[in-house]
Structure 1
């Protein structure tokens, strides 16, 4: 298994490879193979981490504290692309990083959204910007445009954003339609916007499915499609506070068409007040499911492959799977000793696993994994369904982000397993030979015993027959004696 983690204390990336069953807290278990690269120091630690594939090549995308966005080759770990967002000040932080159809999206807590077009990166990546947090009351209409064109105006706009009390703490791009984004935060209800100049590419000669319509201002106009409404007041008739901590799109294939006239979306969010909520934009602005899953703030959320379950983590080490159908917890992933800062799910391709259609409970779930990392400085990997701990590795630093690269077993460990299996088979053969020898010896002993008993019986019969003969001779002798007397 191969997992990528971001080390907060050193600002580096660590690629950790280990066989299933590894636990560095227990002596005698196999040691992981850790490769450290892209070290930049604590002042530039990785805040967000994702993967990208550009023209068949795999890359690691990171967003660092201070506004640095970098891409590293996944195989060689060499720096491929770097871009510094000068307008982002130190107080701002990345809360979103996502790669969709050749476009890299970054979003900060101040609401600064940037879209980097990496389709033709050799000629320079085009960067487009928009502000998700409105800077004035006059921009409350459905169409929102920004007219600043230079860096001075950008810096002024960002300063105005940071002065606001509202901030964004959750951001997500629709995985099939990169022109649709959802975001929310502290005192900021969940909102869905459409990026107007991110459009589907109908040119068959171009490999890019989506593209950005260029403009001189490099500003992305956006349109508000939908905004959530708060739940009703509590039992004391007080307003329920709003703080969205993460958001995910559900059933993404149902609205993947770019020309859909009646857009409706299904989303799930977590809150810093311990709630999991599900929204249906076609039915209501209020959540159709609102469950308080715990007393502590939820800081991490991820969906499973079914879109009917989510996994969440809170600030007190709780990691649990939750059903969006029944509104109940399905089990806990135990072991974390502090806040869970990052979660990642991984489903291994079917050609790497030996699935059995007749087995509905065990083997067909073994290819689903979930990784956690946080303040306790441990990386943990579990099987999603059974919640079995597959690996536990001490990283030595706070884990700010985690991503599973590969769930297959390393070749060396697999070879060792095969050798152990062959040794066990040989031992079994030796045991069978020993058992056969023991059985043969027992059979021979039984035969010897039977022969001995038979010879004793024959000797006894012979003695008895001799005794009978001697008795007969004695009787005849007595008769002869009686005849001789007068």
Structure 2
């Protein structure tokens, strides 16, 4: 298994609880699982790298456990409980100075040390948190947001109160209140600004350095809830996706759509831009891993992975190869976890009917086909 896992440059978490690795250079996909019996509570919700060398992968499941996966050995090496399913599912998983940060949708944001069974610190980010993200430049700062729970930025060294709390949006032209619904967020490089996407098809930029706590930029894309975003390495743009499988590249300076990425046939659940290449990986309900070029917006790789996918994580190495991949017979998935289910299903034969016209034209009879 270690030989297989070392080939993988893209990792995905599925609803079935299987960790999936994809090697786009070798056109192969692999399944990794730490149990023979899968259940719904093992669904993978969040992924992150456990170290800077990318030899460990942290996997957060619905049952509240965080599993450590060795990309060198190809096996799960550790399991620890970092949440209670009654508190909600994971909405964020990060690593900070050897500590693990977790957040669940009830708002419990906790810091875990390696050898401690209990969190060393905890804060309440409010109810219905949809996403927690860490500032890559300032690892002690994280952002949270959710449904009727606007953007908050926290300093984990002073967790009593947030260092920034977004103000309610201005009322619309009918003087009606505009609700909050942050679905994803990211810290913009080389600035203090944060970009969010919402369940009301909006993209907002907040600037904690300015006296204004409302968005300094507002834009809209489509008519459906936005579910995920990611920032390309080039800056000045953001990739967003929605529940209808519409993905677009937006200009962060003017809020205009630069172009759309095509091919999707289901809602997008996760996006990640490559750290150095003009590529974006995405996944969701259509069970495909998509990799698009951000330069010409064409599909570079397309891999069918059988299960609905919740999260995607890219390695820092270059994603080699070009052209659309994943057509029938091109990408092989090693573990066929769905086949056993279909093999045990009872085959149903449908009785068909055939109409026959009488030669006299006086009527029609129905005859069963044996």
Shorter-chain TM-score category?
0.7 to 0.9
The Cα offsets for residues 376-402 of structure 1, whole Å up to 9 and x where unpaired, read as 111111112211211111111101111
Alignment of 1:261-340 (within 5 A): 265-283=192-210, 284-340=212-268
Alignment of 1:67-78 (within 5 A): 67-78=64-75
Q: CA deviation at 1:16?
A: 1.4
CA distance in 2, matches of 1:132, 1:237: 32
Q: CA deviation at 1:237?
A: 0.9
**1:382 matched to 2:309:** no
Pick the structure with greater CA Rg: 1
Q: 1:57 to 1:371 in 2, by over 3 A?
A: closer
For these two proteins, the number of residue pairs brought into alignment is 309
- Name the residue aligned to 1:399: 309
Alignment of 1:408-447 (within 5 A): 408-409=319-320
- Name the residue aligned to 1:174: 135
Q: 1:74 to 1:36 in 2, by over 3 A?
A: same
CA distance in 1, matches of 2:94, 2:235: 19
- Name the residue aligned to 1:45: 43
- Name the residue aligned to 1:142: none
Q: Is the 8 A contact 1:196 1:223 kept in 2?
A: no
1:241 pairs, out of 179, 191, 200, with 179
- Name the residue aligned to 1:107: 103
Q: Is the 8 A contact 1:380 1:392 kept in 2?
A: yes
**1:195 matched to 2:156:** yes
CA distance in 1, matches of 2:65, 2:80: 6
Q: CA deviation at 1:57?
A: 6.2
Q: Is the 8 A contact 1:376 1:398 kept in 2?
A: yes
Q: Give TM-score, length-normalised by structure 1.
A: 0.60
- Name the residue aligned to 2:10: 3
For structure 1, the 5+ residue unaligned runs are 20-30, 135-165, 198-220, 255-264, 349-366, 411-486
CA distance in 2, matches of 1:72, 1:191: 31
The Cα offsets for residues 105-133 of structure 1, whole Å up to 9 and x where unpaired, read as 11000111121234xxxx55773231324
Q: CA deviation at 1:170?
A: 2.0
Q: Give TM-score, length-normalised by structure 2.
A: 0.78
CA distance in 2, matches of 1:94, 1:114: 11
CA distance in 2, matches of 1:267, 1:167: 20
CA distance in 1, matches of 2:193, 2:45: 27
For structure 2, the 5+ residue unaligned runs are 1-7, 322-370
The Cα offsets for residues 415-435 of structure 1, whole Å up to 9 and x where unpaired, read as xxxxxxxxxxxxxxxxxxxxx
Q: Is the 8 A contact 2:281 2:291 kept in 1?
A: yes
Q: CA deviation at 1:90?
A: 4.0
1:43 match: secondary structure: helix
Q: Is the 8 A contact 1:13 1:39 kept in 2?
A: no
Q: CA deviation at 1:222?
A: 2.5
- Name the residue aligned to 1:218: none
CA distance in 2, matches of 1:408, 1:229: 40
| Structure with greater proportional strand content | 2
Q: CA deviation at 1:71?
A: 1.2
CA distance in 2, matches of 1:100, 1:329: 34
Alignment of 1:51-70 (within 5 A): 51-53=49-51, 56=53, 58-70=55-67
CA distance in 1, matches of 2:235, 2:95: 20
CA distance in 2, matches of 1:49, 1:113: 16
Q: 1:409 to 1:170 in 2, by over 3 A?
A: closer
Q: 1:222 to 1:381 in 2, by over 3 A?
A: same
Q: 1:70 to 1:309 in 2, by over 3 A?
A: same
CA distance in 2, matches of 1:317, 1:292: 16
- Name the residue aligned to 2:361: none
- Name the residue aligned to 1:442: none
